[in-house]
Amino acid sequence: MAKKEYSFYPGCSSPKGASASNLQVSVDAMCDALDIQLNEIPDWNCCSASIGYGEGGELPRIALSARNLALSEQHNPGQDLVATCAACWLATREASERLRGSDQLMAETNQALAAAGLNLQPEQPQRVRHMVEVLIEDFGFEALGEKVQKPLEGIKIASYIGCQTNRPFGIDGESFENPVYLDKLVDILGGDSIPDYEKKVQCCGGALMFSEPEKSQELVKGILEAAHDNGADMIVTPCPLCQMNAEVYQDQINATHGTNFNMPVVYYSQLMSVAYGKNAGEAGLDGQIIKATKLEDIAGK
Amino acid sequence: MSDMSNAVVEKYHNDFLKEVEAHVEDGEWVKMCMQCGVCAGSCPLGDHWAHPPQELFMMIRAGKREEVLTSDSMWMCTSCYNCIVRCPRGLPITHIMHGLAHYAHRLGLAPEKQPTRVFAKLFWDNITKNGRANELKMGLSLYFKDGFGNGIKEAMKNRPLGQAMMKAKRLNPMEFFGGHGVKDKSGLHAMLAKAREIEDAKLEQGK
Protein backbone atom coordinates (compact mmCIF):
# COMPACT_ATOMS: atom_id res chain seq x y z
CA MET A 1 0.00 0.00 0.00
CA ALA A 2 1.32 3.43 -0.90
CA LYS A 3 2.24 5.88 1.81
CA LYS A 4 -0.71 7.99 2.98
CA GLU A 5 -0.18 11.66 3.89
CA TYR A 6 -2.28 13.91 6.09
CA SER A 7 -2.09 17.45 7.38
CA PHE A 8 -1.70 16.95 11.12
CA TYR A 9 -3.03 19.02 14.04
CA PRO A 10 -1.36 17.54 17.17
CA GLY A 11 -2.84 19.90 19.80
CA CYS A 12 -1.58 21.31 23.10
CA SER A 13 -1.54 18.07 25.10
CA SER A 14 0.68 16.25 22.58
CA PRO A 15 4.23 17.67 22.87
CA LYS A 16 7.01 16.10 24.92
CA GLY A 17 6.30 16.73 28.61
CA ALA A 18 2.59 17.44 28.06
CA SER A 19 -0.31 15.45 29.49
CA ALA A 20 -0.94 13.30 26.40
CA SER A 21 2.66 12.95 25.22
CA ASN A 22 2.18 9.18 25.42
CA LEU A 23 -0.68 9.44 22.92
CA GLN A 24 1.62 11.22 20.47
CA VAL A 25 4.47 8.73 20.98
CA SER A 26 2.16 5.81 20.27
CA VAL A 27 0.48 7.55 17.31
CA ASP A 28 3.92 8.00 15.76
CA ALA A 29 4.67 4.29 16.26
CA MET A 30 1.27 3.27 14.88
CA CYS A 31 1.70 5.52 11.83
CA ASP A 32 5.14 4.10 11.22
CA ALA A 33 3.67 0.59 11.13
CA LEU A 34 0.85 1.68 8.81
CA ASP A 35 3.07 3.80 6.55
CA ILE A 36 1.20 7.02 7.38
CA GLN A 37 3.01 10.34 7.08
CA LEU A 38 1.71 13.15 9.30
CA ASN A 39 2.67 16.63 8.12
CA GLU A 40 2.36 18.92 11.14
CA ILE A 41 0.57 22.22 10.49
CA PRO A 42 3.30 24.84 10.92
CA ASP A 43 2.77 27.17 13.90
CA TRP A 44 -0.64 25.68 14.83
CA ASN A 45 -2.40 27.19 17.86
CA CYS A 46 -4.77 26.01 20.58
CA CYS A 47 -8.39 25.37 19.49
CA SER A 48 -9.67 26.77 22.87
CA ALA A 49 -11.23 23.35 23.56
CA SER A 50 -14.65 23.08 25.19
CA ILE A 51 -14.05 25.63 27.94
CA GLY A 52 -12.81 28.61 25.91
CA TYR A 53 -16.38 29.88 25.51
CA GLY A 54 -16.51 31.53 28.96
CA GLU A 55 -14.18 34.36 28.07
CA GLY A 56 -13.78 33.90 24.31
CA GLY A 57 -16.78 34.87 22.21
CA GLU A 58 -17.94 33.04 19.11
CA LEU A 59 -15.80 34.96 16.64
CA PRO A 60 -12.52 34.84 18.61
CA ARG A 61 -13.01 31.08 19.07
CA ILE A 62 -13.83 30.49 15.40
CA ALA A 63 -10.81 32.64 14.48
CA LEU A 64 -8.49 30.37 16.48
CA SER A 65 -9.63 27.33 14.51
CA ALA A 66 -9.71 29.30 11.26
CA ARG A 67 -6.06 30.20 11.72
CA ASN A 68 -5.20 26.48 11.87
CA LEU A 69 -7.43 25.76 8.87
CA ALA A 70 -5.77 28.55 6.87
CA LEU A 71 -2.25 27.41 7.76
CA SER A 72 -3.15 23.83 6.91
CA GLU A 73 -4.61 24.75 3.52
CA GLN A 74 -1.63 26.95 2.76
CA HIS A 75 1.14 24.53 3.77
CA ASN A 76 -0.43 21.11 3.28
CA PRO A 77 -2.74 21.65 0.28
CA GLY A 78 -4.78 18.76 -1.01
CA GLN A 79 -4.49 16.76 2.21
CA ASP A 80 -7.17 15.97 4.76
CA LEU A 81 -6.66 17.67 8.11
CA VAL A 82 -6.36 15.03 10.84
CA ALA A 83 -6.47 15.45 14.63
CA THR A 84 -5.93 12.88 17.37
CA CYS A 85 -7.47 14.92 20.19
CA ALA A 86 -11.26 14.84 20.48
CA ALA A 87 -11.55 18.52 21.42
CA CYS A 88 -9.16 19.64 18.67
CA TRP A 89 -11.10 17.64 16.11
CA LEU A 90 -14.49 18.84 17.31
CA ALA A 91 -13.54 22.53 17.46
CA THR A 92 -11.82 22.48 14.08
CA ARG A 93 -14.54 20.56 12.28
CA GLU A 94 -17.27 22.65 13.83
CA ALA A 95 -15.51 25.87 12.85
CA SER A 96 -15.01 24.60 9.32
CA GLU A 97 -18.69 23.67 8.96
CA ARG A 98 -19.97 26.90 10.49
CA LEU A 99 -17.67 28.98 8.28
CA ARG A 100 -18.80 27.21 5.15
CA GLY A 101 -22.42 27.58 6.20
CA SER A 102 -22.38 31.35 6.64
CA ASP A 103 -21.00 33.95 4.25
CA GLN A 104 -21.17 36.58 6.98
CA LEU A 105 -19.17 34.50 9.46
CA MET A 106 -16.64 33.70 6.75
CA ALA A 107 -16.26 37.40 5.91
CA GLU A 108 -15.86 38.45 9.55
CA THR A 109 -13.42 35.63 10.22
CA ASN A 110 -11.35 36.58 7.21
CA GLN A 111 -11.28 40.16 8.50
CA ALA A 112 -9.77 38.84 11.75
CA LEU A 113 -7.42 36.46 9.92
CA ALA A 114 -6.14 39.33 7.78
CA ALA A 115 -4.68 40.86 10.95
CA ALA A 116 -2.45 37.77 11.12
CA GLY A 117 -1.68 37.93 7.40
CA LEU A 118 -3.85 34.90 6.64
CA ASN A 119 -6.86 34.14 4.54
CA LEU A 120 -9.37 31.30 4.29
CA GLN A 121 -10.71 30.31 0.88
CA PRO A 122 -14.41 29.47 1.00
CA GLU A 123 -14.16 26.94 -1.85
CA GLN A 124 -12.86 23.40 -1.54
CA PRO A 125 -12.26 23.18 2.19
CA GLN A 126 -10.02 20.47 3.56
CA ARG A 127 -11.91 17.64 5.26
CA VAL A 128 -11.39 17.71 9.02
CA ARG A 129 -11.07 14.17 10.31
CA HIS A 130 -10.32 12.23 13.46
CA MET A 131 -7.48 9.71 13.33
CA VAL A 132 -9.96 6.95 14.14
CA GLU A 133 -11.91 7.83 10.98
CA VAL A 134 -8.71 7.58 8.98
CA LEU A 135 -8.05 4.10 10.37
CA ILE A 136 -11.58 2.82 9.77
CA GLU A 137 -12.32 4.51 6.45
CA ASP A 138 -8.93 4.66 4.71
CA PHE A 139 -7.61 1.32 5.98
CA GLY A 140 -10.53 -0.76 7.30
CA PHE A 141 -10.57 -3.40 10.01
CA GLU A 142 -9.31 -6.16 7.73
CA ALA A 143 -6.21 -4.25 6.67
CA LEU A 144 -5.59 -3.11 10.26
CA GLY A 145 -5.81 -6.74 11.39
CA GLU A 146 -3.29 -7.94 8.80
CA LYS A 147 -0.51 -5.94 10.47
CA VAL A 148 -0.84 -7.72 13.80
CA GLN A 149 2.36 -9.47 14.88
CA LYS A 150 1.68 -9.92 18.58
CA PRO A 151 -2.01 -10.54 19.31
CA LEU A 152 -3.20 -9.06 22.59
CA GLU A 153 -4.16 -12.49 23.88
CA GLY A 154 -5.67 -12.80 27.31
CA ILE A 155 -6.30 -9.09 27.85
CA LYS A 156 -9.87 -8.06 28.55
CA ILE A 157 -10.39 -4.46 27.48
CA ALA A 158 -13.31 -2.09 28.11
CA SER A 159 -13.76 0.35 25.22
CA TYR A 160 -14.40 3.80 26.60
CA ILE A 161 -15.13 6.21 23.76
CA GLY A 162 -16.34 9.10 25.87
CA CYS A 163 -18.17 12.14 24.56
CA GLN A 164 -16.48 14.31 22.02
CA THR A 165 -15.09 11.58 19.76
CA ASN A 166 -18.68 10.36 19.61
CA ARG A 167 -20.87 13.47 19.68
CA PRO A 168 -22.03 15.61 17.99
CA PHE A 169 -20.22 14.28 14.90
CA GLY A 170 -19.09 10.77 15.75
CA ILE A 171 -17.78 8.20 13.33
CA ASP A 172 -19.80 7.66 10.18
CA GLY A 173 -22.12 4.68 10.42
CA GLU A 174 -21.83 4.34 14.21
CA SER A 175 -24.59 5.09 16.71
CA PHE A 176 -24.30 7.80 19.35
CA GLU A 177 -25.60 5.51 22.08
CA ASN A 178 -23.63 2.35 21.39
CA PRO A 179 -20.71 2.76 18.99
CA VAL A 180 -18.90 -0.54 18.38
CA TYR A 181 -15.77 0.36 16.40
CA LEU A 182 -13.44 0.30 19.37
CA ASP A 183 -14.72 -3.17 20.38
CA LYS A 184 -14.09 -4.35 16.81
CA LEU A 185 -10.58 -2.92 16.96
CA VAL A 186 -9.84 -4.69 20.26
CA ASP A 187 -11.03 -7.95 18.71
CA ILE A 188 -8.97 -7.71 15.52
CA LEU A 189 -5.91 -6.93 17.63
CA GLY A 190 -6.47 -10.25 19.40
CA GLY A 191 -7.81 -8.88 22.71
CA ASP A 192 -11.14 -9.61 24.39
CA SER A 193 -13.65 -6.80 23.97
CA ILE A 194 -16.58 -6.13 26.29
CA PRO A 195 -19.39 -5.19 23.88
CA ASP A 196 -21.87 -4.69 26.74
CA TYR A 197 -19.68 -2.24 28.67
CA GLU A 198 -22.39 0.16 29.75
CA LYS A 199 -20.27 3.28 30.32
CA LYS A 200 -18.80 3.44 26.81
CA VAL A 201 -20.14 6.92 26.05
CA GLN A 202 -20.50 8.25 29.60
CA CYS A 203 -19.09 11.71 30.27
CA CYS A 204 -15.91 11.90 32.42
CA GLY A 205 -16.64 15.48 33.43
CA GLY A 206 -14.39 16.88 30.72
CA ALA A 207 -12.87 20.23 31.62
CA LEU A 208 -15.10 20.40 34.70
CA MET A 209 -12.70 17.92 36.35
CA PHE A 210 -10.66 21.05 37.10
CA SER A 211 -13.48 23.28 38.32
CA GLU A 212 -15.94 20.74 39.76
CA PRO A 213 -13.67 17.86 40.83
CA GLU A 214 -16.11 16.16 43.23
CA LYS A 215 -18.92 16.01 40.67
CA SER A 216 -16.61 14.86 37.89
CA GLN A 217 -14.83 12.25 39.97
CA GLU A 218 -18.19 10.73 40.76
CA LEU A 219 -18.77 10.29 37.03
CA VAL A 220 -15.34 8.68 36.60
CA LYS A 221 -16.06 6.36 39.51
CA GLY A 222 -18.99 4.95 37.52
CA ILE A 223 -16.80 4.46 34.44
CA LEU A 224 -14.17 2.57 36.45
CA GLU A 225 -16.71 0.56 38.42
CA ALA A 226 -18.46 -0.73 35.31
CA ALA A 227 -15.13 -1.72 33.74
CA HIS A 228 -14.16 -3.53 36.93
CA ASP A 229 -17.53 -5.28 37.22
CA ASN A 230 -17.21 -6.49 33.63
CA GLY A 231 -13.85 -8.06 34.47
CA ALA A 232 -11.75 -5.60 32.45
CA ASP A 233 -7.96 -5.69 32.80
CA MET A 234 -7.77 -2.21 31.36
CA ILE A 235 -9.73 0.56 29.69
CA VAL A 236 -8.96 1.84 26.19
CA THR A 237 -9.95 5.28 24.92
CA PRO A 238 -9.32 7.54 21.91
CA CYS A 239 -9.53 10.80 23.90
CA PRO A 240 -6.66 12.53 25.77
CA LEU A 241 -8.94 14.18 28.33
CA CYS A 242 -10.90 10.96 28.96
CA GLN A 243 -7.59 9.15 29.42
CA MET A 244 -6.29 11.64 31.94
CA ASN A 245 -9.55 12.00 33.86
CA ALA A 246 -10.06 8.23 34.06
CA GLU A 247 -6.47 7.40 35.02
CA VAL A 248 -4.87 10.03 37.19
CA TYR A 249 -7.57 10.69 39.81
CA GLN A 250 -8.03 7.07 40.89
CA ASP A 251 -6.14 7.67 44.16
CA GLN A 252 -8.36 10.63 44.99
CA ILE A 253 -11.49 8.68 44.04
CA ASN A 254 -10.36 5.79 46.23
CA ALA A 255 -9.78 8.17 49.15
CA THR A 256 -13.20 9.84 48.75
CA HIS A 257 -15.32 6.80 48.02
CA GLY A 258 -13.47 4.02 49.85
CA THR A 259 -12.89 2.16 46.58
CA ASN A 260 -9.76 0.33 45.52
CA PHE A 261 -9.34 1.14 41.82
CA ASN A 262 -6.04 0.51 40.09
CA MET A 263 -7.28 0.32 36.50
CA PRO A 264 -4.87 1.06 33.63
CA VAL A 265 -6.26 3.39 30.96
CA VAL A 266 -4.52 3.26 27.58
CA TYR A 267 -4.99 4.70 24.09
CA TYR A 268 -6.11 2.67 21.05
CA SER A 269 -2.81 3.68 19.43
CA GLN A 270 -0.91 2.04 22.30
CA LEU A 271 -2.81 -1.22 21.79
CA MET A 272 -2.08 -1.03 18.07
CA SER A 273 1.59 -0.19 18.52
CA VAL A 274 2.12 -3.19 20.81
CA ALA A 275 0.13 -5.53 18.54
CA TYR A 276 2.16 -4.27 15.58
CA GLY A 277 5.39 -5.31 17.28
CA LYS A 278 6.58 -2.01 18.76
CA ASN A 279 8.30 -2.07 22.15
CA ALA A 280 6.91 -0.59 25.37
CA GLY A 281 8.79 2.69 24.95
CA GLU A 282 7.65 3.15 21.36
CA ALA A 283 4.09 2.47 22.51
CA GLY A 284 4.42 5.20 25.16
CA LEU A 285 3.69 2.75 27.97
CA ASP A 286 6.23 4.50 30.21
CA GLY A 287 3.75 7.40 30.24
CA GLN A 288 1.16 5.42 32.20
CA ILE A 289 0.71 6.39 35.84
CA ILE A 290 -1.06 3.08 36.46
CA LYS A 291 1.11 0.59 34.63
CA ALA A 292 -0.56 -1.48 31.90
CA THR A 293 1.39 -4.57 32.97
CA LYS A 294 -0.39 -7.08 30.72
CA LEU A 295 0.33 -4.90 27.70
CA GLU A 296 3.95 -4.41 28.76
CA ASP A 297 4.32 -8.18 29.02
CA ILE A 298 3.20 -8.67 25.43
CA ALA A 299 5.40 -5.80 24.22
CA GLY A 300 8.38 -7.43 25.95
CA LYS A 301 7.83 -10.85 24.38
CA MET B 1 -26.03 45.84 36.63
CA SER B 2 -23.31 46.94 34.24
CA ASP B 3 -23.79 49.84 31.83
CA MET B 4 -23.73 47.46 28.90
CA SER B 5 -26.41 45.36 30.52
CA ASN B 6 -28.65 48.41 31.14
CA ALA B 7 -28.18 49.47 27.54
CA VAL B 8 -29.44 46.15 26.13
CA VAL B 9 -32.41 46.04 28.49
CA GLU B 10 -33.35 49.51 27.26
CA LYS B 11 -32.91 48.50 23.65
CA TYR B 12 -35.16 45.41 23.81
CA HIS B 13 -37.80 47.02 26.03
CA ASN B 14 -37.59 44.10 28.41
CA ASP B 15 -38.15 41.51 25.70
CA PHE B 16 -35.54 39.05 26.88
CA LEU B 17 -36.24 36.44 24.18
CA LYS B 18 -35.44 38.99 21.48
CA GLU B 19 -32.27 39.96 23.31
CA VAL B 20 -31.17 36.32 23.52
CA GLU B 21 -31.97 35.76 19.84
CA ALA B 22 -29.85 38.75 18.89
CA HIS B 23 -26.86 38.32 21.21
CA VAL B 24 -26.55 34.74 22.43
CA GLU B 25 -24.79 32.20 20.25
CA ASP B 26 -27.51 30.09 18.54
CA GLY B 27 -30.08 32.01 20.62
CA GLU B 28 -32.53 32.07 17.71
CA TRP B 29 -33.20 28.37 18.44
CA VAL B 30 -34.61 28.97 21.94
CA LYS B 31 -38.21 29.40 20.77
CA MET B 32 -38.11 25.96 19.11
CA CYS B 33 -37.96 24.09 22.45
CA MET B 34 -41.08 21.97 23.08
CA GLN B 35 -40.34 21.34 26.77
CA CYS B 36 -39.93 17.57 26.55
CA GLY B 37 -37.05 17.47 29.04
CA VAL B 38 -34.88 14.93 27.20
CA CYS B 39 -31.93 17.33 27.64
CA ALA B 40 -32.37 17.38 31.42
CA GLY B 41 -32.55 13.59 31.58
CA SER B 42 -29.48 13.21 29.35
CA CYS B 43 -27.17 15.56 31.21
CA PRO B 44 -24.34 13.90 33.16
CA LEU B 45 -24.50 16.66 35.78
CA GLY B 46 -28.28 16.97 35.54
CA ASP B 47 -28.72 16.60 39.30
CA HIS B 48 -26.65 19.71 39.88
CA TRP B 49 -28.54 22.14 37.66
CA ALA B 50 -30.95 24.47 39.48
CA HIS B 51 -32.59 24.98 36.08
CA PRO B 52 -32.05 22.35 33.36
CA PRO B 53 -31.90 23.60 29.74
CA GLN B 54 -35.62 23.30 28.94
CA GLU B 55 -36.41 25.29 32.06
CA LEU B 56 -33.90 28.00 31.09
CA PHE B 57 -35.56 28.16 27.67
CA MET B 58 -38.99 28.68 29.22
CA MET B 59 -37.59 31.26 31.64
CA ILE B 60 -36.13 33.16 28.68
CA ARG B 61 -39.51 33.18 26.99
CA ALA B 62 -41.10 34.32 30.26
CA GLY B 63 -38.68 37.25 30.40
CA LYS B 64 -36.88 36.14 33.55
CA ARG B 65 -33.72 37.93 32.54
CA GLU B 66 -32.00 38.29 35.87
CA GLU B 67 -32.80 34.75 37.06
CA VAL B 68 -31.36 33.28 33.86
CA LEU B 69 -28.23 35.39 33.53
CA THR B 70 -27.25 35.20 37.20
CA SER B 71 -27.89 31.45 37.26
CA ASP B 72 -25.21 28.91 38.07
CA SER B 73 -26.96 26.36 35.82
CA MET B 74 -25.44 26.73 32.36
CA TRP B 75 -21.98 26.66 33.94
CA MET B 76 -22.64 22.98 34.79
CA CYS B 77 -22.37 22.03 31.10
CA THR B 78 -19.52 19.54 30.58
CA SER B 79 -19.78 19.82 26.77
CA CYS B 80 -20.69 16.16 26.40
CA TYR B 81 -23.15 16.92 23.56
CA ASN B 82 -25.66 14.32 24.74
CA CYS B 83 -28.46 16.90 24.68
CA ILE B 84 -27.58 17.96 21.13
CA VAL B 85 -27.77 14.50 19.62
CA ARG B 86 -30.91 13.55 21.54
CA CYS B 87 -33.01 16.72 21.20
CA PRO B 88 -36.04 15.79 19.06
CA ARG B 89 -36.28 19.36 17.79
CA GLY B 90 -32.60 19.52 16.87
CA LEU B 91 -31.73 22.45 19.13
CA PRO B 92 -27.97 22.97 19.48
CA ILE B 93 -28.43 22.98 23.26
CA THR B 94 -24.74 22.68 24.20
CA HIS B 95 -23.95 25.76 22.10
CA ILE B 96 -26.85 27.69 23.60
CA MET B 97 -25.62 26.86 27.13
CA HIS B 98 -22.12 28.04 26.19
CA GLY B 99 -23.65 31.12 24.61
CA LEU B 100 -25.75 31.97 27.68
CA ALA B 101 -22.77 31.46 29.99
CA HIS B 102 -20.59 33.67 27.81
CA TYR B 103 -23.23 36.38 27.52
CA ALA B 104 -23.81 36.42 31.29
CA HIS B 105 -20.04 36.61 31.85
CA ARG B 106 -19.66 39.36 29.27
CA LEU B 107 -22.37 41.49 30.90
CA GLY B 108 -20.81 40.91 34.33
CA LEU B 109 -23.94 39.16 35.62
CA ALA B 110 -22.63 35.60 36.05
CA PRO B 111 -21.94 34.49 39.64
CA GLU B 112 -18.52 35.90 40.42
CA LYS B 113 -16.91 32.90 42.11
CA GLN B 114 -18.60 30.23 40.01
CA PRO B 115 -15.67 27.77 39.65
CA THR B 116 -16.20 26.93 35.97
CA ARG B 117 -16.53 30.61 35.14
CA VAL B 118 -13.24 31.28 36.94
CA PHE B 119 -11.54 28.33 35.25
CA ALA B 120 -12.87 29.28 31.79
CA LYS B 121 -11.34 32.75 32.13
CA LEU B 122 -8.02 31.35 33.39
CA PHE B 123 -8.02 28.90 30.48
CA TRP B 124 -8.66 31.54 27.83
CA ASP B 125 -6.02 33.88 29.22
CA ASN B 126 -3.57 30.99 29.42
CA ILE B 127 -4.02 29.74 25.84
CA THR B 128 -4.16 33.14 24.18
CA LYS B 129 -0.99 34.41 25.86
CA ASN B 130 1.34 32.16 23.88
CA GLY B 131 -1.17 30.56 21.52
CA ARG B 132 -0.89 27.15 23.16
CA ALA B 133 -1.93 25.77 26.55
CA ASN B 134 0.59 25.92 29.37
CA GLU B 135 -0.65 23.01 31.45
CA LEU B 136 1.62 23.65 34.43
CA LYS B 137 0.58 27.28 34.83
CA MET B 138 -3.05 26.33 34.26
CA GLY B 139 -2.91 23.94 37.22
CA LEU B 140 -1.08 26.39 39.44
CA SER B 141 -3.34 29.34 38.69
CA LEU B 142 -6.35 27.16 39.40
CA TYR B 143 -5.01 26.12 42.80
CA PHE B 144 -4.37 29.76 43.69
CA LYS B 145 -7.69 31.13 42.42
CA ASP B 146 -9.03 31.57 45.97
CA GLY B 147 -5.94 33.28 47.37
CA PHE B 148 -2.50 32.28 48.50
CA GLY B 149 -3.31 30.29 51.65
CA ASN B 150 -5.92 28.17 49.93
CA GLY B 151 -3.58 27.77 46.96
CA ILE B 152 -0.88 26.18 49.10
CA LYS B 153 -3.47 23.84 50.59
CA GLU B 154 -4.79 22.83 47.15
CA ALA B 155 -1.27 22.43 45.75
CA MET B 156 -0.31 20.17 48.67
CA LYS B 157 -3.45 18.10 48.23
CA ASN B 158 -2.66 17.57 44.56
CA ARG B 159 1.09 17.14 45.00
CA PRO B 160 1.13 13.33 44.65
CA LEU B 161 -0.80 13.69 41.38
CA GLY B 162 1.60 16.30 40.02
CA GLN B 163 4.58 14.22 40.99
CA ALA B 164 3.12 11.13 39.30
CA MET B 165 2.50 13.19 36.14
CA MET B 166 6.08 14.50 36.18
CA LYS B 167 7.46 11.00 36.72
CA ALA B 168 5.50 9.79 33.69
CA LYS B 169 6.90 12.80 31.78
CA ARG B 170 3.42 14.22 31.26
CA LEU B 171 3.98 17.46 33.18
CA ASN B 172 7.02 19.60 32.51
CA PRO B 173 8.25 21.84 35.37
CA MET B 174 10.16 23.95 32.83
CA GLU B 175 6.83 25.22 31.47
CA PHE B 176 6.92 27.59 34.44
CA PHE B 177 9.59 29.60 32.61
CA GLY B 178 7.67 30.40 29.46
CA GLY B 179 6.72 27.12 27.84
CA HIS B 180 5.66 26.29 24.31
CA GLY B 181 3.72 28.60 22.07
CA VAL B 182 3.22 29.82 18.51
CA LYS B 183 5.99 31.74 16.74
CA ASP B 184 3.68 34.44 15.40
CA LYS B 185 2.36 35.71 18.72
CA SER B 186 1.82 39.26 17.49
CA GLY B 187 -0.25 38.01 14.53
CA LEU B 188 -2.32 35.80 16.79
CA HIS B 189 -2.97 38.63 19.26
CA ALA B 190 -3.88 41.05 16.46
CA MET B 191 -6.30 38.47 15.02
CA LEU B 192 -8.03 37.94 18.38
CA ALA B 193 -8.22 41.68 19.04
CA LYS B 194 -9.85 42.21 15.64
CA ALA B 195 -12.35 39.39 16.25
CA ARG B 196 -13.27 40.86 19.62
CA GLU B 197 -13.59 44.33 18.10
CA ILE B 198 -16.05 43.06 15.48
CA GLU B 199 -18.13 41.31 18.16
CA ASP B 200 -18.12 44.32 20.48
CA ALA B 201 -19.28 46.56 17.67
CA LYS B 202 -22.18 44.21 16.93
CA LEU B 203 -23.23 44.10 20.58
CA GLU B 204 -23.23 47.89 20.74
CA GLN B 205 -25.18 48.25 17.54
CA GLY B 206 -27.65 45.56 18.64
CA LYS B 207 -27.14 43.51 15.50
Residues B28, B94, single domain; the answer is: yes
The residue among B94, B110, B126 that closes a domain is B110
pLDDT of residue B124: 97
pLDDT of residue B91: 98
Q: Give per-residue pLDDT as tens, B143-191.
A: 888 888 888 888 888 889 989 999 999 999 888 887 789 999 999 999 9
| Inter-chain residue contact A46 with B131, CB threshold 8 Å | yes
Residues B102, B120, single domain; the answer is: no
Among residues A234, A167, A164, which one has the least CA distance to residue A194? A234
pLDDT of residue B147: 84
The residue among B95, B110, B125 that closes a domain is B110
Strands of the sheet containing A156-159, edge to edge, are A192-193, A156-159, A234-237, A265-267
Asked, for residue B190, whether it belongs to a domain, the answer is yes
Domain count, chain B: 2
Residues B51, B105, single domain; the answer is: yes
Residues B88, B128, single domain; the answer is: no
Asked, for residue B130, whether it belongs to a domain, the answer is yes
From residue A55, alpha-carbon distances to A66, A94, B9, B103, B164 in Å are 18, 19, 22, 9, 31
Residues B86, B17, single domain; the answer is: yes
- CATH number of the domain enclosing B48: 1.10.1060.10
Q: Is the peptide bond before A168 cis (omega within 30 degrees of 0)?
A: yes
Asked, for residue B127, whether it belongs to a domain, the answer is yes
Question: Which residues from B are below 8 Å from A99, CB to CB?
Answer: none
* B181 min Cα distance to partner chain A (Å): 8
| Inter-chain residue contact A50 with B190, CB threshold 8 Å | no
Asked, for residue B1, whether it belongs to a domain, the answer is no
Residues B122, B101, single domain; the answer is: no
How high is the ipTM of this complex?
Answer: 0.96
From residue B131, alpha-carbon distances to A48, A84, B134, B191, B201 in Å are 9, 19, 9, 11, 24
| Inter-chain residue contact B115 with A57, CB threshold 8 Å | no
Residues B160, B187, single domain; the answer is: yes
Residues B128, B189, single domain; the answer is: yes
Q: B152: domain range?
A: 115-196
pLDDT of residue B177: 84
A119: how many CB neighbours lie within 10 A of its CB? Answer: 13
Q: With residue A47 as reference, give the H or E element that holds it.
A: none
Instruction: Return all residues near B152 (Cβ < 8 A) that are at least 6 apart.
Output: none
pLDDT of residue A1: 66
| Inter-chain residue contact A15 with B119, CB threshold 8 Å | no
Residues B138, B183, single domain; the answer is: yes
Provide the residue-wise pLDDT of chain A in tens; the chain has 301 residues: 689 999 999 999 999 999 999 999 999 999 999 999 999 999 999 999 999 999 999 999 999 999 999 999 999 999 999 999 999 999 999 999 999 999 999 999 999 999 999 999 888 899 999 999 999 999 999 999 999 999 999 999 999 999 999 999 999 999 999 999 999 999 999 999 999 999 999 999 999 999 999 999 999 999 999 999 999 999 999 999 999 999 999 999 999 999 999 999 999 999 999 999 999 999 999 999 999 999 999 999 9
pLDDT band for position B87 (cuts 50, 70, 90): very high
Asked, for residue B85, whether it belongs to a domain, the answer is yes
pLDDT band for position B26 (cuts 50, 70, 90): very high
Residues B30, B104, single domain; the answer is: yes
Asked, for residue B145, whether it belongs to a domain, the answer is yes
Distance, CA of B131 to CA of B125 (rounded, Å): 10
Question: Residues of chain B with pLDDT > 90: what percent?
Answer: 72
pLDDT band for position B206 (cuts 50, 70, 90): low
Residues B94, B144, single domain; the answer is: no
From residue B117, alpha-carbon distances to A181, A216, A249, B104, B110 in Å are 36, 16, 22, 10, 8
pLDDT of residue B1: 53
Asked, for residue B3, whether it belongs to a domain, the answer is no
CB-hemisphere CA count at 13 Å for A211?
A: 20
If you count residue pairs, one on A and one on B, with CB atoms under 8 Å apart, how many are there? 210
Residues B99, B133, single domain; the answer is: no
Average pLDDT score over chain B: 93
Which residue in the set B135, B138, B191 is minimally distant from A63, CB to CB?
B191
- For chain A, list the domains and their CATH numbers: 4-131 (1.20.1050.140), 149-299 (3.40.50.11810)
Question: Which residues from A are below 8 Å from B160, CB to CB?
Answer: 251
Give residue A204's Cα distance to chain centre: 14
Give residue B71's Cα distance to chain centre: 13
